[in-house]
């Protein structure tokens, strides 16, 4: 039935800062989800190849510190250049199994010179086509030491059966205007991706659902001290200050009334499944629609620039 959508929340850990091995884990999750007839699978923020946890463990804000430069270079080598086809195998699986994918990754953007990193959320449709790449508008706190700020080009939504899906990265979900940009495009299934931990997901997931009268899926990764590979540069220094648990999960789903369908799941690696019924969106929009009958565009209106930003415009 077109009004029902089976989703999978992939709460997994990366093979940290190893894009080849992390892609293998992602592919295995897609195949597992497809065997359960899943129609949409979501992976956490920066899962491919991992969140920059070292910044809080190696005095990341120190100027000209060799350890941070070398870790950043290692991170850059394991970032994803989409234009080079590094997501082709994942796109092929999406097409083969007719499954849509939201994937959080670190992008080494070719149109910005190929050396800076962006925290991006990629949507691949059920035909294996990359339909949007949303670069995080504003990296949070120490993330700014390794990620560049993105642009509005990826503020897009996509049809999936009767649903209209869109997504944001981590603390972007706290930003009212980017949320409104997606609401205005008809979003009714909101994807919120996080590096991990229920302190991020336990409040905002239900709030966005209640505000938008939409389904909200929050997906987080896992990361423990044991997950740092032995090949990690300066591993001993990282381990010296690392807590045992860096990301405890917290993946969850709220319905259009803001109530839990799946409460935050902690410390459990694997896929979390649920079936969403689109009719619930219409039921809850009856009394509130933030960009529809309960809006006043004559009084307040949002302007959105979705141009893909680049430093140089070439005319040949």
Cα dihedral 118, 151, 161, 290 in deg (nearest 10): 130
Contact 166, 185 (CB under 8 A): yes
Q: What's the N-to-C CA distance of the chain in angstroms?
A: 50
The residue among 5, 19, 35, 156 whose CA lies nearest residue 81 is: 19
Catalytic residue, candidates 39, 86, 91, 136: 136
| 170 among known catalytic residues | yes
| 45 among known catalytic residues | yes
Catalytic residue, candidates 39, 45, 86, 172: 45
Which SS3 state, helix, strand or coil, does residue 6 take?
strand
| 161 among known catalytic residues | no
Contact 10, 48 (CB under 8 A): no
- The span from the CA of 216 to the CA of 269, in Å, is 20
Residue burial 174-209, b: 16+ Cβ < 10 Å; e: rest: beeebbbbbbbeebbbbbbbbbbbbebbeebbbebb
Q: What stretch of H or E contains 75?
A: helix 66-77
Catalytic residue, candidates 91, 119, 170, 252: 170
Question: Could you give the residue numbers annotated as active site?
Answer: 45, 136, 170
């Amino acid at each position: 039935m077109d009004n029902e959508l089976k989703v999978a929340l992939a709460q997994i850990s990366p093979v940290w800062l190893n894009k080849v091995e992390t892609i293998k884990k992602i592919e295995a999750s897609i195949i597992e989800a497809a065997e359960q007839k899943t129609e949409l699978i979501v992976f956490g923020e920066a899962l491919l190849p991992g969140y920059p946890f070292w910044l809080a463990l190696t005095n990341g804000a120190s100027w000209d510190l060799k350890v941070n430069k070398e870790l950043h270079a290692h991170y850059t080598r394991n970032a994803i250049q989409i234009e080079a086809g590094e997501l082709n195998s994942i796109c092929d699986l999406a097409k083969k199994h007719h499954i849509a994918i939201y994937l959080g990754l670190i992008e080494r953007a070719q149109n910005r010179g190929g050396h800076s990193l962006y925290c991006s959320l990629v949507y691949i449709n059920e035909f294996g086509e990359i339909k949007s790449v949303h670069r995080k508008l504003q990296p949070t706190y120490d993330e700014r030491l390794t990620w560049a700020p993105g642009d509005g080009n990826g503020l897009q939504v996509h049809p999936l059966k009767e649903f209209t899906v869109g997504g944001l990265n981590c603390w972007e979900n706290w930003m009212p205007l980017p949320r409104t940009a997606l609401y205005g495009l008809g979003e009714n299934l909101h994807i919120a991706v996080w590096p991990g931990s229920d302190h991020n997901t336990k409040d905002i997931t239900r709030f966005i659902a209640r505000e938008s009268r939409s389904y909200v899926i929050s997906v987080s990764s896992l990361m423990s001290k044991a997950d740092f590979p032995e090949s990690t540069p300066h591993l001993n220094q990282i381990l010296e200050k690392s807590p045992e648990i860096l990301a405890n999960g917290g993946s969850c789903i709220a319905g259009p009334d803001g109530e839990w369908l799946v409460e935050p799941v902690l410390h459990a690696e694997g896929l979390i499944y649920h079936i969403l019924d689109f009719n619930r969106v219409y039921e809850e929009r009856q009394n509130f629609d933030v960009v529809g009958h309960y809006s006043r565009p004559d009084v307040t209106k949002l302007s959105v620039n979705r141009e893909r930003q680049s430093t140089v415009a070439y005319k040949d």
